[in-house]
Structure 1
C-alpha cells in the first residue's frame, strides 16, 4: 500500500456521504486526469495519473492529492511524448507496475463513489475510457458506472463563446490561475476542479444542479452540443460525429 493511496483512502473514509440533493457548488469532488502513450484506449496506456480530492469549503489549500507514474510496458507515441514529456526510458526506470498503480487509482475512485463524491475530469470520456481499458488489459476489476462531472460538457452548454475549448483556454476564460504547467496530470487535475467555482458564480444554474440531476443534465447538454456541431460540420461538407457521452 503506497502512501498516496493510503492518504486518499483515509480522506475519503472521513468524508461525509453526500445526498442525492447535494448541489454541485457544495459537492466534494474527486478530480482525475491522465497522461498516456497515445490517444487510443486499448492500444495506448496510462503513464501518469492524478487524483485530487477537493472539499469546496477548504478549497485548493485543503486538497488531498495522489500521483502515479506508471510503466505502461508499451512504447510512447512520439507525438504524445512531445506533449507530456515522458519517454520510454524514464517510464521503465521510474514507473510503477500498472497492476498495482492502475488498481489503486480505480479503488480510490470506487471508494469516492460510495460516498457519492463525483469523479471530475475535463473531457471525461477520454480518461475514463483509458482507465477502463487498462483495467481490462491487466485483468483488474472494472469500474462501476461512475457519477461524473465534466467541465467541458458543462462549458459547451453554458458559454456561447467562440474559439478553442482546451483546458488551458477554458481556464483562462474563467480566470483560473494554473498551479503548474499544463499537460502535467496534477496541474491539469487541479485546474479542472478549480473551474467549478467560477462556473457556478458566472452561471448560477450550474451550481444548482443536484447530484441526482447531474448525469442526465450532462447527457442532454452533450446531445444538444452534438446536434449543433454536426449542423456546422454538415455545412462544411464534413462527416458528423457519432460519439456519445457517458
Structure 2
C-alpha cells in the first residue's frame, strides 16, 4: 500500500462528494429516465456472509451528459482476510496484491458509505446489478469495522430485477449477457469493478427506450415496484425448482 494510492482514493472521493453536492435534489415524481444515478459494484473475497470487499467502484451519472460526464471513484481494499481461489480467478486479485496495494478497510468502506449516504440524501438512487449482493457486502463491512450504517430507507435501482420483469427473454441474465441483449458496449473488461458499474448504469437508457414503462417509473414508486417484480419472479422460479425436486430459494429483495 502506498501513500500515493491512498491520496488518490481520498481525492476521488472528495471530487465525487463535491459533484453530489452540486447535483439537483430529486423528488418522488422524478422519472427513472430523468434521474441522476449512482452506480455501484464490488469485487469480494467470496460470496458468503463473512466475505469482504476487495474492490469497489462508484459512478455518478448525470442523465443529460451520459457516460462522458461520469464522475468515478474506485478503491482497492485490503480485507485482512483470505480471498477464495474461486473469487481470485474471477476478479484477478490475490492476497499478496491486496496486502501490498489495498487501502485500510476502515478508511475505504467509510468513504464509500459517506458517498452513498450523500447521494441518498439527494434522492439519487444507488444502482447495482443484483443489488442485494453489493448492498449486503457493504453493510457487512460497515458492521465488521464498526462504522456508521447506511440509512434505513434505501433508494435502489436493480437492472437485473427490472430486466426479469419486462423482457421475458430466454437465456442467462448475467451482466455480460444482459448488456449484449440491450446493445451496451462495455468500457473495459467485465469483473473490473468500474467497467461493471458503468455497464450497469448504461443499461437504463436502452431499457427506457425499448420499454417506456421503465423510463417512466417514478422514484417514489421504484422500491415497491422492484419488490413486487422480484416476488413475482421468485414465485415463478420456485415453481420451476420444486417441479424438479429442487429446494426453493427464500431470499427477498431489499
- TM-score bracket for this pair, using the shorter chain length: over 0.9
RMSD, aligned CA = 0.7
Return the alpha-carbon distance in structure 2 between the equivalents of residues 126 and 19 of structure 1: 26
Matches within 5 A, 1:132-151: 132-145=139-152, 146-151=154-159
SS at match of 2:42: strand
User: Which position in structure 1 is the counterpart of 2:174?
Assistant: 166
SS at match of 1:134: helix
SS at match of 1:30: strand
Are positions 1:211 and 2:219 aligned together?
yes
Return the alpha-carbon distance in structure 1 between the equivalents of residues 203 and 53 of structure 2: 24
The counterpart of 1:6, out of the listed 4, 14, 23, is 14
Q: Which stretches of structure 1, 4 residues or more, deviate above 3 A after TM superposition? A: none
Gaps of 5+ in 2: 1-6
Gaps of 5+ in 1: none
Matches within 5 A, 1:104-123: 104-123=111-130
Are positions 1:83 and 2:90 aligned together?
yes
User: Which position in structure 1 is the counterpart of 2:104?
Assistant: 97
What is the CA distance between 1:5 and its match in structure 2? 0.8
Are positions 1:245 and 2:247 aligned together?
no
Are positions 1:64 and 2:71 aligned together?
yes
The counterpart of 2:202, out of the listed 185, 194, 197, is 194
Return the alpha-carbon distance in structure 2 between the equivalents of residues 185 and 195 of structure 1: 16
Return the alpha-carbon distance in structure 1 between the equivalents of residues 196 and 163 of structure 2: 16
What is the CA distance between 1:135 and its match in structure 2? 0.3
What is the CA distance between 1:40 and its match in structure 2? 1.0
Return the alpha-carbon distance in structure 1 between the equivalents of residues 88 and 185 of structure 2: 25
TM-score normalised by length of structure 1: 0.99
SS at match of 2:89: helix
TM-score normalised by length of structure 2: 0.96
SS at match of 2:118: helix
What is the CA distance between 1:10 and its match in structure 2? 0.2
What is the CA distance between 1:234 and its match in structure 2? 1.2
Q: Deviation per CA, 1:45-66, whole angstroms, max 9, x where unpaired?
A: 0000000000111000000000
SS at match of 2:58: strand
Q: How many residues align?
A: 245
What is the CA distance between 1:141 and its match in structure 2? 0.5
